[in-house]
């Protein structure tokens, strides 16, 4: 039953995976009050993982990835309208169409968007794409159908690598440009990065690491690109896969701890204000949330994982309608998957929270393995490549802070495997700044006063 004060009106901003799952959970928990979902996309909630996989391969149409609604929501859907501001004192969400939506409890689930190419003139060239929405996927798939001569993928993280994989599977020529030493290094470190590089090249990708794209060329239409090593290529499609930007700008005047790294919240999904005081009626979940996790030294994690969006939304929804003692922490071990170049990659834990890695099962040579990551002598993550069956076992090791390297018997190698440095990038060198950072407003904004309705 509801705690005090009563929450008769719940508003969710962000009508995608986390928003939908939270709405379903609220109803499942017996919430009978008014429920409003606000989303700036015009589509009902849909799934994004297929966009860079089946949709780009032409196996599934971009408008066929809708998320099933698992129960009657009896909700007021406000789609195609952006929330432009939040007044936490008056408890209203301010919409760009001029409307105010009052709430008793609010869930922020505004996720992320694709980081744009930094030069607007070049980004506007015909043939330059990003991939985040179903509209992006439909447009890119249509251009791939037309048989471009060469696709340039800028950035070899998970999304960029999956796009390159889909293009090669279609038989298209692909160049991948990556600033780091190998694909996936930012997420998985050096050992699996090297494997990914080998596999991309074996699949015919023109992989260029340690370079940046300095210019996209064209006159109205993209014709090619220049690289920092002085080389250039002809290309008629470029996909910018430079990661994601958190959708927090609409909260700039709200007084919440919301910034480029997300909305900071506690383990119960309650948002912090900019002074670090936890709010009691504003919650956050999904890609936009930034939260402490005891397994990772209470560092604030910003995750872009489907499974996290679901689990955190369920905890947030439960806590929104539960009195204090019945609230639950969001303690799920992070997990994600990716498929690319014939590899089924699955991860549990946080591979970047590591100093060493060991191949505990299988081998790099066979591209069938489990890599286990450790930090200061305990297991913090495991990544399987075409061998997902034992991941639950490693999840248990992570949850129980088991010693690293895993004890003999935990691995199927005849000899004890030898850990090597995990070579995850120093977060301080990434463009996003250090992993543990103060979020929210700059010091000169300490005295920001919450704006009344515009
Ligand atoms: C191409 C692609 C492939 C992926 N593949 C995988 C995968 O293989 N495995 C995996 O674990 N994860 C994958 N992901 C990540 C996964 O899809 C995300 O973790 C998930 O979508 C997060 O859900 P969310 O609801 O938190 O955020 P989002 O899905 O980003 O939804 C946020 C919603 O809020 C809307 N919004 C933003 N600002 C406002 C505003 N001010 N007012 C109103 N509405 C607003 C947005 O338009 C969007 O509809 C992939 C993502 C992409 C893009």
Average pLDDT over residues 206-220: 97
**Residue whose CA lies nearest to ligand 1 atom number 50:** 49
Find out whether the beta carbon of 264 lies less than 6 Å from any atom of ligand 1: no
Q: How far is the CA of 155 from the centre of ligand 1 (A)?
A: 19
Residue percentage of the chain with pLDDT more than 70: 90
Q: Which pLDDT score is estimated for 421?
A: 86
Rounded Cα gap, residues 447 and 92, in angstroms:
21
Q: How far is the CA of 147 from the centre of ligand 1 (A)?
A: 29
> Does residue 116 or residue 437 have the better pLDDT?
116
Q: How far is the CA of 38 from the centre of ligand 1 (A)?
A: 14
Residue percentage of the chain with pLDDT more than 90: 85
Rounded Cα gap, residues 101 and 23, in angstroms:
17
> Which of 318, 328, 286, 325 is CA-nearest to residue 303?
286
Q: Which pLDDT score is estimated for 187?
A: 92
Cβ pair 350, 378 in contact under 8 A: no
Q: At what angle do helices 306-320 and 17-28 cross, to 10 degrees?
A: 40
Find out whether the beta carbon of 18 lies less than 6 Å from any atom of ligand 1: yes
Find out whether the beta carbon of 198 lies less than 6 Å from any atom of ligand 1: no
Q: How far is the CA of 48 from the centre of ligand 1 (A)?
A: 7
pLDDT value at 161 more than 50: yes
Confidence of residue 225 (pLDDT cuts 50, 70, 90): very high
Q: Which pLDDT score is estimated for 435?
A: 39
> Does residue 266 or residue 444 have the better pLDDT?
266
Rounded Cα gap, residues 37 and 19, in angstroms:
7
pLDDT value at 442 more than 80: no
What domains, with CATH codes, occur in the chain?
A: 9-48+66-113+245-326 (3.50.50.60), 116-242 (3.50.50.60), 342-422 (3.30.390.30)
- Rounded to the nearest integer, the mean pLDDT of the chain is 91
Atom of ligand 1 nearest to the CA of 113: 30
Confidence of residue 413 (pLDDT cuts 50, 70, 90): low
Cβ pair 246, 262 in contact under 8 A: yes
Find out whether the beta carbon of 373 lies less than 6 Å from any atom of ligand 1: no
Q: Which pLDDT score is estimated for 433?
A: 37
Q: How far is the CA of 44 from the centre of ligand 1 (A)?
A: 13
Between CA 423 and CA 173, with CA 337 as vertex, the angle to 5 degrees is 80
Q: What is the four-CA torsion angle of 5, 7, 11, 17, rounded to 10 degrees?
A: 100
Q: How far is the CA of 27 from the centre of ligand 1 (A)?
A: 22
Q: How far is the CA of 309 from the centre of ligand 1 (A)?
A: 9
Atom of ligand 1 nearest to the CA of 83: 42
Average pLDDT over residues 45-72: 96
pLDDT tens-place string over residues 65-117? 999 999 999 999 999 999 999 999 999 999 999 999 999 999 999 999 999 99
Residues in the chain: 454
Tell me, letter by letter, the H, E, C secondary structure of 213-231.
EEEEEEECEEEEEEECCCC
Find out whether the beta carbon of 337 lies less than 6 Å from any atom of ligand 1: yes
Residue 123 CA from chain centroid, whole number: 22
Rounded Cα gap, residues 116 and 113, in angstroms:
9
Confidence of residue 453 (pLDDT cuts 50, 70, 90): very low
Find out whether the beta carbon of 213 lies less than 6 Å from any atom of ligand 1: no
Atom of ligand 1 nearest to the CA of 337: 9
Average pLDDT over residues 37-66: 96
Rounded Cα gap, residues 277 and 439, in angstroms:
13
Find out whether the beta carbon of 182 lies less than 6 Å from any atom of ligand 1: no
Rounded Cα gap, residues 5 and 281, in angstroms:
9
pLDDT tens-place string over residues 287-313? 999 999 989 888 899 999 999 999 999
pLDDT value at 10 more than 70: yes
pLDDT tens-place string over residues 337-373? 999 999 999 999 999 999 999 999 999 999 999 999 9
Find out whether the beta carbon of 122 lies less than 6 Å from any atom of ligand 1: no
Find out whether the beta carbon of 40 lies less than 6 Å from any atom of ligand 1: yes
Model pTM above 0.75: yes
Confidence of residue 409 (pLDDT cuts 50, 70, 90): low
Provide the b/e sequence for 8-40 (b: ≥16 CB within 10 Å).
Answer: ebbbbbbbbbbbbbbbbbbbebebeeebbbbbb
> Does residue 451 or residue 83 have the better pLDDT?
83
Q: Which pLDDT score is estimated for 3?
A: 45
Cβ pair 304, 244 in contact under 8 A: yes
> Which of 334, 351, 364 is CA-nearest to residue 404?
351
> Which of 310, 316, 343 is CA-nearest to residue 328?
316
């Amino acid at each position: 039953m509801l705690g005090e004060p009563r929450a008769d009106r719940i508003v969710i901003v962000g009508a995608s995976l986390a928003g939908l799952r939270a709405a379903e959970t609220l109803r499942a928990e017996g919430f009978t009050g008014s429920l409003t979902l606000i989303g700036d996309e015009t589509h009902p909630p849909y799934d994004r993982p297929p966009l860079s996989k089946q949709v780009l391969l032409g196996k599934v149409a971009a408008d066929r990835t809708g998320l099933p609604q698992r129960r009657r929501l009896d909700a007021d859907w406000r789609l195609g309208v952006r929330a432009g501001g939040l007044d936490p004192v008056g408890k209203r969400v301010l919409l760009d169409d001029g409307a105010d939506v009052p709430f008793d409890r609010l869930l922020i689930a505004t996720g992320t968007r694709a980081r744009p190419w930094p030069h607007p003139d070049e980004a506007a060239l015909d043939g330059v794409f990003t991939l985040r929405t179903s509209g992006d996927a439909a447009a890119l798939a249509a251009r791939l159908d037309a048989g471009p001569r060469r696709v340039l993928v800028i950035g070899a993280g998970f999304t960029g690598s999956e796009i390159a994989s889909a293009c090669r599977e279609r038989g298209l020529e692909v160049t991948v440009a990556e600033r780091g030493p190998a694909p996936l290094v930012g997420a998985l470190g050096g050992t699996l990065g090297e494997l990914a590089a080998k596999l991309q090249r074996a699949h015919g990708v023109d992989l260029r690491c340690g370079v940046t794209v300095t210019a996209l060329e064209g006159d109205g239409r993209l014709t090619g690109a220049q690289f920092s090593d002085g080389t250039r290529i002809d290309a008629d499609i470029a996909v910018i896969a430079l990661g994601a930007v958190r959708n927090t700008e609409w909260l700039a005047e709200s007084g919440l701890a919301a910034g480029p790294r997300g909305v900071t919240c506690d383990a119960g999904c309650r948002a912090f204000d900019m002074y670090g005081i936890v709010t009691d009626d504003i919650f956050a979940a999904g890609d936009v949330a930034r939260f402490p996790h005891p397994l990772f030294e209470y560092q604030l994690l910003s995750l872009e994982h489907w499974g996290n969006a679901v689990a955190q939304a369920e905890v947030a929804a439960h806590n929104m309608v539960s009195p204090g003692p019945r609230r639950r922490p969001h303690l799920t071990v992070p997990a994600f998957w990716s498929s690319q170049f014939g590899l089924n990659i699955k991860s549990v834990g946080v591979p970047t929270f590591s100093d060493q890695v060991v191949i505990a099962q299988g081998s790099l040579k066979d591209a069938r393995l489990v890599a286990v990551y450790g930090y200061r002598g305990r297991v913090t993550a495991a990544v399987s490549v075409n061998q997902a069956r034992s991941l639950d076992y490693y999840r248990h090791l992570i949850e129980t802070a088991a010693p690293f390297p895993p004890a003999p018997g935990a691995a199927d190698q005849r000899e004890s495997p030898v850990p090597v440095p995990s070579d995850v990038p120093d977060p301080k060198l990434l463009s996003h700044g250090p992993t543990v950072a103060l979020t929210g407003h700059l010091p000169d904004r300490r005295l920001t006063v919450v704006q009344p309705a515009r």
